[in-house]
Amino acid sequence: MTIESRQRASHQASGNLRRQELLAAAAECFNDVGYASVTIEMIARRAGTSRPTFYVYFKSKDEVFLALVEQVGTELIEAQFLDGLEGESAAVIIAATTRAYIDAIFANGGLVGTIELAAKVDPEVNAVWSRAPELTVRRYSRFLGNLSAGEADLAVPPERLAHILRDGIHSGSMRLSEADDNAKDEFIRDQIATALRLTGLG
């Protein structure tokens, strides 16, 4: 690697780090005061930088918010891909993926709630955000459909059950975003128990 290419790689890494710092700061701001009250100045100050630096990476508050929407959606999708579950029972897989999915929501504090509210009124936000729940429901429906032909006894058809479980997880997680760890863990255990009962596995 030449000196020039090393410098270019170093500059790119530094830029990626600064962008991630701005995204993290924006997430904290949106979580703390909601979308409407956040300003670019607030985000820049939280990130320990300036408005001009913010504009190097994002054109507007809308753009940084959309970047967060995409980032959080990706985190929720990836939370369902767990290693070490090959050969495990359906009940173990449901418990592990349910816990991982809810943990990913809680890891974002109240940001998921802020995003869902914005998605109801902003078509652009909805277009980005809807990919995550649609893919989640599709994958879970397929998993449940395979179960219904074998060991499970589903209370309702797979797609409807996937929607019921997903909606329950999201509404409860948003309600408990600021709750203590014990309340969150109790909610996770309740959701796992509900999923197992509705699939005939618990």
CATH number of the domain where residue 41 is located: 1.10.10.60
- What is the pLDDT, as a whole number, of residue 168? 95
pLDDT-derived band at 1, boundaries 50, 70, 90: low
Long-range contacts of 150-154 (CB under 8 A, 24+ apart): 151/90, 151/201, 152/90, 152/199, 152/200, 152/201, 153/199, 153/200, 154/198, 154/199, 154/200
If one compares 13 and 54, the residue with the highest pLDDT of the two is 54
Quote the number of domains for the chain: 2
Q: Which of 24, 39, 58 is the last residue of a domain?
A: 58
Q: Is 164 in the same domain as 129? A: yes
| pLDDT tens by residue, 60-118 | 999 999 999 999 999 999 998 888 888 899 999 999 999 999 999 999 988 999 999 99
HSE of 118 in the Cβ direction (CA atoms, 13 Å)? 21
Domain range enclosing 36:
1-58
- What is the pLDDT, as a whole number, of residue 153? 87
Q: CB of 93 within 8 A of CB of 85?
A: yes
| pLDDT tens by residue, 134-189 | 999 999 999 998 887 667 889 899 999 999 999 999 999 989 999 999 999 999 99
- What is the pLDDT, as a whole number, of residue 190? 98
Output the domain CATH number for residue 139.
Answer: 1.10.357.10
Q: Is 107 in the same domain as 170? A: yes
Tokens of 188: 């996770």
Distance CA 91, CA 26 (A): 38
From the list 140, 164, 150, 166, the residue with the least C-alpha distance to 201 is 150
Distance CA 172, CA 151 (A): 28
Q: CB of 174 within 8 A of CB of 113?
A: yes
Other CB atoms within 10 Å distance of the CB of residue 156: 12
Q: Is 19 in the same domain as 71? A: no
> What rounded mean pLDDT belongs to the chain?
89
Location of structure tokens 């709630």:
113
Q: Phi first, then psi: what are they for 195, rounded to 5°?
A: -60, -40
- What is the pLDDT, as a whole number, of residue 12? 46
Q: Is 92 in the same domain as 184? A: yes
From the list 119, 197, 186, the residue with the least C-alpha distance to 164 is 197
Q: CB of 43 within 8 A of CB of 58?
A: no
Q: Which amino acid is at 116?
A: E
- What is the pLDDT, as a whole number, of residue 3? 46
Q: Is 83 in the same domain as 154? A: yes
Q: CB of 125 within 8 A of CB of 115?
A: yes
Q: Is 102 in the same domain as 193? A: yes
Q: Is 39 in the same domain as 102? A: no
Checking if the pLDDT of 13 tops 60, the result is no
Q: Is 72 in the same domain as 54? A: no
Q: Is 90 in the same domain as 150? A: yes
Q: Is 84 in the same domain as 30? A: no
Q: Is 170 in the same domain as 96? A: yes
Other CB atoms within 10 Å distance of the CB of residue 64: 24
Distance CA 101, CA 164 (A): 15
Q: Is 20 in the same domain as 86? A: no
Q: Which of 58, 89, 106 is the last residue of a domain?
A: 58
Q: Which of 58, 82, 101 is the last residue of a domain?
A: 58
